[in-house]
Amino acid sequence: MERRIKLIALDLDGTLLDSEKKVSRRNLEALERARRMGVLIVPVTGRPAQGLPQAVLDLPGLRYAVTSNGATIRDLQEDKFLLEKHLTPADCLEVLEACADFDMIREVFREGVGYLTRDDRDILLDRYQGTPMLEYVLGTRRVIPGSLEDFLREDDRPVEELFFLTDSPERKEALRRRLSALPGISFADPFPRDLEVMAGGIDKGAAFLYLLDLLGVHPAETLALGDGGSDLPLLKAAGIGVAMGNALPFVQAEADWVTASCDEDGVALALEKFVF
């Protein structure tokens, strides 16, 4: 018997969103058709809640969102948190001390906002100048007057994640090796050069399973789509894990199926195959 899909989990950048950070008409029509069939649509993204683009927030019937690579799950309709698995400021200070000698951009994400020094912000804006990501960066970052360490010591609110932007995949892997000895943290790989540090035991897959348990949906009744290394736990947790045509090779190798790229309506093609 073929399984019936009750929930679709979607990464955003490189998956639902195309290279221009837009949702294609064909993808929108496919998602609307799924919604009319009673299927839940859930964004599962590395973006913070404040970074969800309006095109995603406007999806008909959208209720739940998994953000910050699983650190936060939010009921958007009732404006309440269903899961907050975050780092303490002390955890973050330990991580920052362990990699103090690394030359890279450092960011602290709290309540969906990325905090960083002015120098790092200028480097970040230069990195994304002229790209569709620039608007997202401008809308989700705030400059702090001093150091990140002072910022963390002066404010005891929990932290969703630390985001480190390095200059090469080799530097990122060296950073991961350095930090892997620290207890109580986990990693996400959003991009080849960048590393995210989160609370231990959480990733997109773990948060996805937590939400399914709350909703009473079996993993076998779900379809997930993604393109990056941080999406692998999600694809493995879902009943059907689909990699995008633009996904990294090792993500494609471990997926159940590979669809077209984010610029070729890959989401719609997957829904047409597995949902409709």
What is the Cα–Cα distance from 46 to 199, expressed in whole angstroms? Answer: 14
pTM, 2 dp = 0.89
Tokens 């019936």, located at residue: 4
Residue 189: what pLDDT?
85
List the chain residues with pLDDT less than 70: 1-3
Residue 2's pLDDT is 59
pLDDT the model gives residue 193? 92
- Rounded Cα gap, residues 247 and 83, in angstroms: 28
pLDDT by residue (tens digit) across 41-65? 999 999 988 889 999 999 988 999 9
Nearest to 163 by CA among 130, 140, 132, 145: 140
Q: Cβ neighbours of residue 128 under 8 Å, at least 6 residues apart? A: 134, 137
Q: What is d(CA 189, CA 205) in angstroms, rounded to the nearest whole number?
A: 13
**Closest C-alpha among 83, 85, 80, 9 to residue 44:** 9
What is the residue-averaged pLDDT of the chain?
Answer: 94
Q: pLDDT (tens digit, 9 = 90+) per residue, 12-41?
A: 999 999 999 999 999 999 999 999 999 999
pLDDT of residue 1: 42
Q: Strand 113-116 and strand 72-75: pairing?
A: unpaired
Which residue from 204, 201, 199, 263 is spatially nearest to 228, judged by alpha carbons? 204
